[in-house]
Structure 1
Amino acid sequence: MNEETLEARSETKLPSVNREVAPLVDALIRDAQALRVNVSQGQLGETLIDCGVRAVGGLEAGRRMGEICLGGLGRVSLQTVDPSSAWPFMVTVHTDQPVLACLGSQYAGWSLSVEDKGKKYHVLGSGPARALGSTEKLFEELGYRDNADSACLVLEADRAPPAALVKHIAEACKLSTDALTIIYAPTSSLAGTVQIAARCLEVALHKSHELHFPLHHIVDGMATAPLPPPAPGFVAAMGRTNDAIIYGGRVQLYVSGSAKAAKALADQLPSLKSKDYGKPFADIFAAVKGDFYAIDRMLFSPAKVTVTALESGESFEAGHIDTAILSRSFSS
C-alpha cells in the first residue's frame, strides 16, 4: 500500500456522524425497557435518555453509548481475555474511521454551561452533535463539519440537562429542539463506566494530536481497556475509569508515512512518559487539590501501544500494563 493510495483514501467524502448514529439511537429507544434505561420527552420536545441517573442502566447500555459516541462509525464490545487475570473483562473498540469517529465525535470537547435554579450546570458534551454545533478549533483542523436534520449528544452527568442548555445546544446545531436527543449517565453508573473505558482509542488519538502527529496518517486503529468496577463517588469513579486507560489500556494504530515517524509516535504515546505517572488517578487528583488542569496532559494516554507503519510493515511497541496500580485503584 503506497502513500498515494492512502492519501486518495483520506480524500474520500466523509460520512455524516449524526446520520450514521440515528439507527443506533432508535434501537436504544426501542430496547429501553430491556436495557433498563428511561426515555422521556423534555420541556422543549427534546428526547432525553437516562442511562444511569434514575434509571438502573447496565453494561449493555454503556456499550451502546460508546458506539453512539463514536458517531456510528465504530464497534464496542465486551470481551474476556485471560480468565486467571485479576481484571479479565475488557472493553474493546475498533473503527475504520479513527480520526473522525474519535476526535470528530467521541471526544468530550464541547464545554457547556448554564445557570439553572441558582446553580451552575457545567458539562462536557461528546458524540455526533459536536460536529454540528461546537465551536472547537479542532473541527477546523479536521476539515469536517456535519450536515444533518437531527443530532445526538452524550453527557457524563448526574442529572438531566436543564431546558436552557437544551435550547442552547439546539440553536448551536441550527435544529429545532425536537430534533435533538440527549443521552446521559454519571461516571459512577454501570453504563457510564463502560462508555468512558471505551474512550481508550480516542485518548490515543487525542495524544497523537497533542504530539503533532499528522492525523491524516492514522489509517486504522483499535484499543482495549479493562472494565473497572463502578465506584459510588465521582472522584473514585473518575479515578478508576482513567486508570483503566492510563495503566491498563492497550492501543494498536496503523499509520502511513515513514517508519521513523511511526517509531517516534510509539515511543512518545504511552502514559508512562508523563511526569505524573505512577499513582492511581484519584491520588494524583487529590495531590493537585482537585485542579484537573494542573495534571500533566501527557498522562492521558494508553498504557501500552503498538504502531504499525503500513509502507514498511514494521511495528513499534512501547509502554506496559501496570497490574499493580490497576488492582490498587480497582480494589480501594
Structure 2
Amino acid sequence: MTPADMPSVNARAGAAVEALRAASTELKIGVARGTSGETVIDAGGREVGSIAAGVKIAEICMGGLGDVRLIASTATPRWPWTVQVHSAHPVVACLASQYAGWRLAHGEGKGAFFALGSGPARALARKEALFEELGYRDSADTATLVLEAPRPPPAEVVERVARDCGIAPERLNIVFAATQSMAGGVQVVARVLEVALHKAHELKFPLERIVEGMGAAPLPPPHPDFVTAMGRTNDAIIYAGRVHLYVSGAAADARELAERLPSTGSRDYGRPFADVFRHYKGDFYAIDPMLFSPAQVVVTALESGESFHAGQVNLDLLDASFT
C-alpha cells in the first residue's frame, strides 16, 4: 500500500477524539467550545490531565495508525514504566501526522502565542515541504490538531488553522497539554519512533523502504519547570529510546542506516538535554539536529533476514536528567 492509498488520518483521529471526549471525567481532561466554534480539549493546562489521556492523545497524533501502550520494562531499572509505540504504517503515522512540524504563532511580547502543531491536521494543511516527498494527502471534512502548549491558541490562530485545512472552525478539534503535564510528557515521549523516521529522512534513506517500526522509551517524571520537563522528555529518547525498523532493499543499506541512526553520533551527545539547551542560550535550532535520535536501534533487512544493532542505553545520563 502506497501513502496515496492510505486511509484518512483525520477521519480515524476524529473517532478517537470522540472517545476521548466521552471519557473526559475519568481522564481528568476538560472539553469546551472555543470562541470560533472549535472543540478545545485541555489535557494538561488548567486541567491536571493523566497518563492515560497522554496515551490516547499519542494515538490521535498518529492519526489512528499507531498503537501506544504503557508497559513495564527492565531496560531502565530505575524508571521501569515505558511508553511503547508500534505502527504498520510508520511513514504516514509518524511523518504525515505525528511529527510536530507546523509552527503556529501570533502576537508579540508576554501575550504572544507560539506552539508546534502535530497530529493529522497537518496532512490537510500541508504547509510543510515534507508533504511533497511523502506523497500523502488527506481529504477529510474534519481536522484534529495537537499542541504541546499550556493554553489553547487564540482565535486568530484557530481561524488560520481551519482556513489552511479547508474546513469550518466548528469542524476543528484542538487538543493541548503542557510539556510539564503528565499527558504532555507521554505524548512527547511517544514520538520515539517518529524521531527515528525523521532522522532516517534526514540521512536520505528512502522512506518507501521503511515497512514497519516499533519503539520504546521510559516515561519521565514530570517537572514544573518547562526547560527541565522538556529536557527529560528529550533525554528519555536520546539516552534510553529503543527503536526497531523493518526495511526493504539491500542489507548493506540497512547496516548503514543502523550505524548512523543512534544519538551517540551527535556532537552534542553526552549531557542532559536541558544543559545542552541552556548552553545554546535557548536557541533550539543551534543544537545539532543529529542529537534527536533514539539511543539504540535495530534495523532488520527483510530480504536477507539480517538484523543490525547499534547504539546503547545510557543509564547514567538518564538518571542525571530524571533525578
- For Structure 1 versus Structure 2, the TM-score category normalised by the shorter chain is over 0.9
Q: Distance in 1 between matches of 2:278 and 2:25?
A: 39
The structural deviation recorded for 1:120 is: 2.2
1:75 & 1:43 partners in 2: Cα distance? 33
Question: What SS class does the counterpart of residue 51 from structure 1 fall into?
Answer: strand
Mapped partners of 1:181, 1:123: distance in 2: 16
CA offsets 1:129-182 (integer angstroms, 9 cap, x no match): 000013100000001110001000000001111111100000000100000000
- 8 Å contact kept, 1:59–1:191: yes
| Residue number in structure 1 paired with 2:314 | 322
1:209 is matched with which residue? 201
Matches of 1:263 and 1:248, distance apart in 2: 21
Residue 283 to residue 73, structure 1, CA distance change in 2 (3 Å): same
2:277 match: 285
Q: Which of 231, 234, 244 is the equivalent residue of 1:242?
A: 234
Deviation at 1:84, TM superposition (A): 8.3
Does 2:256 align with 1:260?
Answer: no
**Structure 1 position 43 matched with structure 2 position 35:** yes
For residues 83 and 250 of structure 1, what CA distance do their matches in structure 2 show? Answer: 9
Structure 2 counterpart of 1:33: 25
Query: Which residue number in structure 2 is paired with residue 189 of structure 1?
Result: 181
* In structure 1, distance between residues paired with 2:4 and 2:195: 25
1:15 alignment counterpart: 7
User: Residues 308 and 33 of structure 1: is their aligned pair in 2 closer, same or farther, counting only changes over 3 Å?
Assistant: same
Show structure 1 runs of 5+ residues with no match: 1-8
Q: CA-atom RMSD, angstroms?
A: 1.3
Aligned pairs for 1:56-135 within 5 A? 56-82=48-74, 85-115=77-107, 119-135=111-127
Q: C-alpha displacement at 1:286, in angstroms?
A: 0.9
Query: Alignment partner for residue 151 of structure 1, among 143, 146, 159?
Result: 143
**Aligned partner of 1:79: which letter?**
I
Q: Are residues 303 and 11 of structure 1, via their aligned partners in 2, closer, same or farther at CA, if it must alter by over 3 Å?
A: closer
Q: State the AA in 2 paired with 1:90.
A: T
| CA displacement 1:181-220 (0-9 Å, x = unmatched) | 0000000000000000100000000000000000000000
CA–CA distance in structure 1, aligned partners of residues 171 and 76 of structure 2: 47
CA apart distance, 1:30: 0.5
Tell me, yes or no, if the aligned pair for 1:116 and 1:162 is still in contact at 8 Å: no
TM-score, normalising length: structure 2: 0.98
The residue type paired with residue 204 of structure 1 is A
1:128 counterpart letter in structure 2: P
Shift of 1:56: 1.1
Contact 2:76–2:315 (CA under 8 A) maintained in structure 1 = no
Q: For residue 268 of structure 2, what is the aligned residue in structure 1?
A: 276
Task: Give the Cα–Cα distance (whole angstroms) in 1 for the partners of residues 266 and 35 of structure 2.
Answer: 45
Counterpart residue type for residue 287 of structure 1: H
3-state SS of paired residue (2:44): coil
1:73 positional shift? 0.4
CA gap of 1:11–1:295, structure 2 versus 1, over 3 A, is: closer
TM-score, L = length of structure 1: 0.95
Query: Are 1:55 and 2:27 counterparts?
Result: no
Give yes or no for contact 1:218–1:255 (8 Å, CA) kept in 2: yes
Give the residue type in structure 2 aligned to 1:206. H
Alpha carbons 1:95, 1:220 under 8 Å: kept: yes
Query: Closer, same or farther in 2 for the Cα pair 1:84/1:325, shift >3 Å?
Result: closer
Q: Does 1:173 align with 2:165?
A: yes
**Secondary structure of 1:225's match?**
strand
Residues 287 and 35 of structure 1: CA distance in aligned 2, closer, same or farther (over 3 Å): same
Amino acid at match of 1:330: F
CA–CA separation in structure 2 for the residues paired with 1:287 and 1:100: 34
Structure 2: gaps of 5 or more residues:
none
Alpha-carbon offset, residue 118 of structure 1: 7.3
SS class of match (1:90) = strand
8 Å CA contact 1:92, 1:224 repeated in 2: yes
